Amino acid sequence: MFDLYKLGWQRFQQLCLTICREILGQTVQSFLDSKDGGRDGAFSGTWQPRKGPAFCGEFVIQCKFTANPGRHLKLSNLGEEIQKAKRLAQRGRCDCYLLMTNAGISGSTAERVEGALREVGVTHALCLGSDWISAQLAENQRLRMLVPHVYGLGDLGQILDARAYQQAQKLLASLHDDLAKVVLTKSYGRAARALHKHGFVLLLGEPASGKTTIAAMLAMVAIDGWQAQVLKLDDPQTVVDHWNPNEKSQFFWIDDAFGATQYDSALAWGWNRRFAQVRAAMTNGARIVMTSRDYIYNRARRDLKETAFPLLKESQVVIDVHQLTIEEKRQILYNHMRLGGQPKAFRSAIKTHLEGVATNSEFVPEIARRLGDPIFTSGLKVDEWHLAQFVEKKEQFLKEVLLNLDADSKAALALILMRNGALVSPAELRSGEATALQRMGSDLGRVTVALSALKDSLVRYAVEEGQGDWRFKHPTVGEAFSAILLEDPELMGIYLHSAPIEKLILQVTCGDVGLEHAVIVPRPYFAMIRRRLSDPANTAIRRGQYYSWNDAKTRFLARRCDREFLEGYLAQSPEILESINEPGLTLGADDDVELAVRLFREGLLPEDNRKAFVDSVVEYAVDGEDGYALRDRSIRKMFRPSEWKHFAERLRLELVPNLARARRYWESNHDRRDDPEEYMDEFKSILDSLEGLFPSDPATLREVGWQRNAMDEWIAERHSEPDENESRPPRLPTQRADDPKGSQVRSIFDDVDA
């Protein structure tokens, strides 16, 4: 039922020792090197393996692994093991002998083996073969949670119910082979514990560090162990839309929660708006796993309201997944080499160099996947120096692979990139895409053939919610191909002309503004981008409750354009300045505010617009509706000294006497779904700002104190106490380390070419 031959000698041995602990109930001492003296594991004490008498004494566990599928064990295969058992028995260290193998064992063979062991002095012997081990995996849910890589080795239809199997099929459509190669790292264990304790975990790491793989493992555990409904979603609004209060076990998986390759502030502010509902879902039993690149999360933290979701401050739920031990790196590399697509000749040639690859400080899991795939190693010279270059200059090697592709394969990757990383299948070309493919020397028919050829190496086919699409196998493929576009003016023009504008503005910057991993548009294309931004048809673009074209365009101008582009855009479309005059409430999240600040800093904001903007934020503060201008230094710089002095005087004379009215305004607009204390954060900040502005004014300080007390009383009245009888999620088991500390004498790569 499970393809145990794919495990390799070390992972099979670890599986056997885990079974001894979890199924047979024994605390086992393990020996994982070649000097084990005929013992892969041992324990001393009492054992009752089946109904009947209990056995006492010194126990020896021997694991016999074969890399050949379908092989059956014969007595002649165990000559060396039986002689070692004899020596151990003579020294009083082997009263009972347990042989575990992934080969098949017939009843007659088991009798002959057990008889031979008794003849050399073993009191009791037991042989357990592949059928028995597979049965334990199929029947024991906890065991599968401890070794989740077996989800990629078997037929889940035989161990999951129909509903769970249907979900698992969707999840495994693109991840089955990856799960078979999974290594249980310390990061996985920490993530599993955090998910059990808090119902939430955020997985952080550099590109290609294995975040998605850990999330996939946790999702499989949720399907199998909790019978959870797994939903892979894109943004905070979809989490709220899909949350079902009547469904007690939902698992939400959000990849790239704050942006795929660059930070997207709209996602961060969307989470701020929806954290209250997210907490309610978790209280109801939902579990949430997010992933994010570390550099993106570092930027998102400035915008996230940690008071709204305190778990983001707890280190135990924010897991840095790229901190791998040497043992973990070895196992990751072994799995990808042995289970990848490389022929035996290549694996034999590279075998002696794999230790050097695994111990290279620049090694990341994605390197292992590439070494295991022939498309990435074509022309690679297998020696110490060239392999070190392959690891340390991984981006350059990937670009060379892409540059050497045929025209149809390049066109296929370009089409996926034009669709922002997801090409719906079956593909139908949009306006301009046929011309783009033609200029690249291809067409839709040949692109379709190329996609099939690239499957599971550079691209993958995924099915989510009934819709299939083509995606890059890993985001680094898309990033490397984007870099290639920059070096080819013809390809760059095709891409900029053909990509949907709402996708394009999330991928490019006009000029170098210091944004990580963005495609930098050269100056000759600025005019084209300006024309595309000003197309009247763009106003119809809308996606989600908090997304509109005007918001997206304003955000693009504020964050992704250099001064030269902005100057040209304002000359072409001066109407953009009208929205700056009267920004919306919630100034801290308003894109018009960010654009106004940016234009002022660049010396591009006309005086009339600056004055109108300042007047608007002053009125918001004086009315007690939004005090962001009181505490934001960037907005403060937009005031003339006389304007700021007049502003402060209006606050003292108009706002302070009417603070009670302002407080009641906030209280009356409270939504019961929002936490009252978090909801009043903005009003609290107004009170704090007034104390800072007038530290020596007794009347102001007295009024602020009264309103703060009244606010605290209102919060206390409405603050709902947590339900003490709230059901706790079931305990999530985590992997125990089988690997002993110390050096390995036998290399894990011994049978990589078996």
The pLDDT tens digits of the residues spanning 611-622 come to 999 999 999 999
Instruction: In whole angstroms, give the CA distance from residue 731 to residue 283.
Output: 16
Domain 393-499 falls in which CATH fold? Arc Repressor Mutant, subunit A (1.10.10)
Report phi then psi at 727, rounded to 5: -70, 140
Q: Is residue 192 over pLDDT 80?
A: yes
pLDDT value of residue 448: 94
Confidence band for 728, pLDDT divided at 50, 70 and 90: very low
Instruction: In whole angstroms, give the CA distance from residue 620 to residue 611.
Output: 15
How far from 613 is each of 475, 553, 603, 616, CA to CA, in Å? 40, 19, 15, 5
Paired tokens of 432? 């301009």
The pLDDT tens digits of the residues spanning 568-601 come to 999 999 999 998 998 988 888 889 999 999 999 9
Instruction: In whole angstroms, give the CA distance from residue 625 to residue 587.
Output: 10
Q: Is residue 422 over pLDDT 50?
A: yes
Confidence band for 25, pLDDT divided at 50, 70 and 90: low
Percent of the chain exceeding pLDDT 90 equals 32
The CATH H-level (homologous superfamily) assignment of domain 143-320 is P-loop containing nucleotide triphosphate hydrolases (3.40.50.300)
Instruction: In whole angstroms, give the CA distance from residue 743 to residue 747.
Output: 10
Q: What is the domain partition of the chain in residue ranges?
A: 4-139, 143-320, 326-392, 393-499, 650-718
Amino acid at 50: R
Name, in order, each residue with C-beta under 8 angstroms of 18's C-beta and a sequence gap of 6 or more. Answer: 143, 146, 147, 736, 738
Q: Judge contact between 670 and 720, C-beta under 8 A.
A: no
Report phi then psi at 410, rounded to 5: -65, -40
Confidence band for 523, pLDDT divided at 50, 70 and 90: very high
Domains 143-320 and 393-499 belong to one CATH topology = no
Instruction: In whole angstroms, give the CA distance from residue 194 to residue 485.
Output: 41
The pLDDT tens digits of the residues spanning 651-662 come to 999 999 999 999
Instruction: In whole angstroms, give the CA distance from residue 76 to residue 146.
Output: 34
Q: Judge contact between 678 and 276, C-beta under 8 A.
A: yes
The arithmetic mean of pLDDT across residues 101-121, rounded, is 91
Amino acid at 571: A
Instruction: In whole angstroms, give the CA distance from residue 484 to residue 380.
Output: 21
Q: Judge contact between 377 and 346, C-beta under 8 A.
A: yes
pLDDT value of residue 543: 55
Which range is least confidently modeled, 10-19, 74-83, 235-244, 714-723?
Answer: 714-723
Instruction: In whole angstroms, give the CA distance from residue 33 to residue 327.
Output: 13
**Between 268 and 371, the higher pLDDT residue:** 371
pLDDT value of residue 449: 93
Tell me the H-state helices in 405-525.
407-418, 433-439, 444-454, 475-486, 489-498, 501-504
Q: Helix count (H) and strand count (E) of the chain?
A: 38, 15
pLDDT value of residue 121: 92
The 8 Å CB, 24+ separation contacts for 719-726 are 719/675, 719/676, 719/677, 722/283, 723/283, 726/283
Confidence band for 400, pLDDT divided at 50, 70 and 90: confident
Paired tokens of 111? 């009798």
Q: Is residue 326 over pLDDT 80?
A: yes
Q: Judge contact between 98 and 131, C-beta under 8 A.
A: no
Which range is least confidently modeled, 17-26, 449-458, 726-735?
Answer: 726-735
Confidence band for 34, pLDDT divided at 50, 70 and 90: very low
Instruction: In whole angstroms, give the CA distance from residue 604 to residue 616.
Output: 19
End-to-end CA distance of the chain: 21
Query: What pTM was computed for the model?
Result: 0.62
Give the SS3 label for residue 626: coil
Q: Which of 118, 28, 11 is nearest to 127 (CA)?
A: 118
Paired tokens of 155? 């037929």
HSE-CB at 396 with a 13 A cutoff on CA atoms is 7
CATH for 4-139 (3.40.1350, 1.10.1740, 2.30.30, 3.30.70): 3.40.1350
Q: Judge contact between 319 and 194, C-beta under 8 A.
A: yes
The arithmetic mean of pLDDT across residues 542-551, rounded, is 66
Q: Judge contact between 560 and 590, C-beta under 8 A.
A: no
Q: Judge contact between 312 and 306, C-beta under 8 A.
A: yes
The arithmetic mean of pLDDT across residues 378-390, rounded, is 91
Give the SS3 label for residue 250: strand
Confidence band for 162, pLDDT divided at 50, 70 and 90: low
pLDDT value of residue 724: 40
